Structure 1
Amino acid sequence: MGQGLRSPIGPRAVHLCVDMQQLFAPGGPWPTPWAPRILPVIVELAGRVPGRTLFSRFIPPHAPEALPGTWRQLYSKWREVTQAQLAPELLELVPELRRFSPPAQLVDKTRYSAFSSPSLLPLLAHLGADTLVLTGAETDVCILATLFDAVDYGFRVVVARDAVCSSSDAGHDAVLHMLSQRLSIQVEVAEMEEILSAWRTADAA
């Protein structure tokens, strides 16, 4: 699926890793079972560009009533995931990624898209970002929501095919197929080996 990269990745690119938290790890309340398979790939990229890596964290409300509409319905079903009941450590990054922050920075969000965080756009502006390399979870929810917002803001978007995952294999496959068919001009999908070979940045080790 996908066409690979169309051109080299320049020094203004930023790695945005979405929601690789204990909350979504195997054994967590919202597990993504094959997240451990993509984790070494994300570790490799974060280790290469720690100063140009951002980690988003999905932060649930204290109680369902703190959010409107269907969000309230979602957390009424999943009260054990609200902060009133959730163990705080489940909101942290998985241990393998914590060592990169700092210099990598954290972006906390309460919605699916990382752009719902008020701190993301200012951070990207500070870093002079023109390209986002997306990794993390879940392909068909938070990655997809972040991807569309990134396109709307005019960023070049690169999805690392072997560094995104979902709790739904069908959803994951459907999104990658859709990207190759419908958004091939604005979104590139490539393996991490190709991304690392193509990324030219002073931060790279």
Structure 2
Amino acid sequence: MRDAKTPESQIRNAVHLCIDMQNIFAPGGLWETPWMEKVLPTVASIVSRHQDRTIFTRFITPQDPEDRPGQWQVYFRRWRQATRLHLSPSALDLVPALARYVPPARVVDKPAYSAFSNPHLAGTLVEKGIGAVVMTGAETDVCVLSTVLSAVDLGFKVVIVEDALCSSSDVGHDALMTMYRTRFHGQVDLVTAEELEEFWRE
């Protein structure tokens, strides 16, 4: 019987979507994600092996809350210090350990949680014949979650590298791991970084 943690088949025609590994989420950042330091070496190892297949996303905050629609205005009034009017520009940069891989790795900026809130990303992947996305990054239960669900809706196979995710909530992270295992069979696979290298055939 297939191990629940290994993909049903080889991973082919895939890109690595590394979500929001930015200084704002790093230790000392405004939205510090404590696990980031722990998973960063694993993420960097994946990137180093698949540099030209890696797309980094960056969550770009608005200049002013009123620059975003609806409830985003409420959100950024609460987090006004995260708007670009108040935030250091370097806070939105990739952490240095990953920025060094650009290029050949690419960067896609997004205004909301999902990587696919950048309208050009899905079209680019389809044009290149990409059938699967390998997911790492921050945070498990916010931007990664939103990107996973968008990718599923768009028909991509999703492979989540569970030891290359970070969150500020243990409860949220664990709940999402359970949901992926029990609710998305055939659309979402969970693997370790070691298993990824065994199954990913570019």
In the alignment, the residues of structure 2 paired with residue 174 and residue 180 of structure 1 have an alpha-carbon distance, to the nearest angstrom, of 10
Q: Is 1:21 matched with 2:33?
A: no
Q: Is 1:109 matched with 2:113?
A: no
Equivalent in the alignment of 2:183 = 182
Equivalent in the alignment of 2:42 = 41
Equivalent in the alignment of 1:169 = 170
**Identity across matched positions, percent:** 49
Aligned length: 200
Q: Is 1:4 matched with 2:28?
A: no
- Following superposition, which runs of at least 4 residues in structure 1 exceed 6 angstroms of deviation? none
Equivalent in the alignment of 2:83 = 82
Q: What secondary structure does 1:60 align onto?
A: coil
> What are the ranges of 5 or more consecutive residues in structure 2 without an aligned counterpart?
none
Q: In 2 relative to 1, CA 177–2 (structure 1 residues): closer, same or farther, beyond 3 Å?
A: farther
Please tell me the residue identity of whatever aligns with 2:72.
W
Equivalent in the alignment of 1:149 = 150
Deviation at residue 26 of structure 1 after TM alignment:
1.1
Q: Is 1:68 matched with 2:77?
A: no
Q: What secondary structure does 1:41 align onto?
A: helix
Please tell me the residue identity of whatever aligns with 2:10.
P
Equivalent in the alignment of 2:128 = 127
Give the alignment's TM-score, normalised by structure 2. Answer: 0.96
Please tell me the residue identity of whatever aligns with 2:178.
H
In the alignment, the residues of structure 2 paired with residue 52 and residue 38 of structure 1 have an alpha-carbon distance, to the nearest angstrom, of 19
In the alignment, the residues of structure 2 paired with residue 126 and residue 88 of structure 1 have an alpha-carbon distance, to the nearest angstrom, of 32
